[in-house]
Amino acid sequence: MDKRKGRTIKSERTSTRLQHSLDYLFDYYYQAKKSEGRAENALKTYVQNYNYFCEFLDERKIIRDIRNINVEVGRDYIIWLRDEKRRFSDNCKVPESVRTVGLLPNQLTRALRI
């Protein structure tokens, strides 16, 4: 604790971990886009796309750290979106027949864009 100001000082280890956390980095990005005045729908799309990526990472048991992301992970993510990602979540009121596996090409393009 900093005795001069009565505040806790972040350890270097905590600071470094935050700098590499994908959740922290996405929040930083999201706040920047929000401050630029991006449309609400665009902001929702950013969150949805990030959630897709997190779902992929969680399924693959990849820790959400920027140091774990490389070209191979990027390629695997594209393949996952195209061939494995289930359209519509389980809590969505869409008929089972519409819940196909793999995103459509235009959905895939949107999911990769941030």
Provide the 10 A C-beta neighbour count for residue 60.
12
What residue segments make up the domains of the chain, in order of their start? 12-112
| pLDDT tens, residue by residue, 14-49 | 566 678 999 999 999 999 999 999 999 999 999 999
| pLDDT tens, residue by residue, 48-95 | 999 999 999 999 999 999 999 999 999 999 999 988 887 666 566 666
Quote the pTM value.
0.72
